[in-house]
Amino acid sequence: MLLVTRGELAGPREYGFLFADALAPVLGGVVVLESKISVQGLIVFLGVTAGSFLFTATDDLLPEAHRRSPSIAVPIATLGGVFFIALAVGFVSSLG
């Protein structure tokens, strides 16, 4: 298994974080399914979660991508991702 580190071999600490990262979504799904969260509460929770992901992407990931590769491919891929998400949201909202 390849685990990206800073040029060192992955140790138990890195594999512990990898395991915790893999386990977190499963535990989150179980908590949501087992708790009696209202639809309105779930909407707020998902909105805050999506907002934090968008903040991370725009504050950290996109500037780093532009710094490493200043070509036109990065903005095109970014706009393509935004367009794909808009299509997906439109499709899901048209289902019902």
Q: What is the pLDDT of residues 4-42, one digit of tens each?
A: 667 677 788 888 988 999 999 899 889 888 888 888 888
Residue 43 belongs to some domain of the structure: yes
Residues 49, 33: Cα–Cα separation, whole Å: 17
**Per-residue pLDDT, 57:** 81
Range of the domain at 55: 12-95
| pTM for the whole structure | 0.48
**Per-residue pLDDT, 27:** 93
Average pLDDT over residues 37-65: 84
Give the burial string for 9-43 (b: 16+ CB within 10 Å, else e): eeeeeeeeeeeeeeeeeeeeeeeeeeeeeeeeeee
Backbone angles phi, psi at 69, to 5 degrees: -140, 90
Residue 36 belongs to some domain of the structure: yes
Residue 2 belongs to some domain of the structure: no
**Per-residue pLDDT, 4:** 67
Dig out the tokens for 49 from the structure: 């979660």
Number of domains in the chain: 1
Residue 19 belongs to some domain of the structure: yes
Residue 66 belongs to some domain of the structure: yes
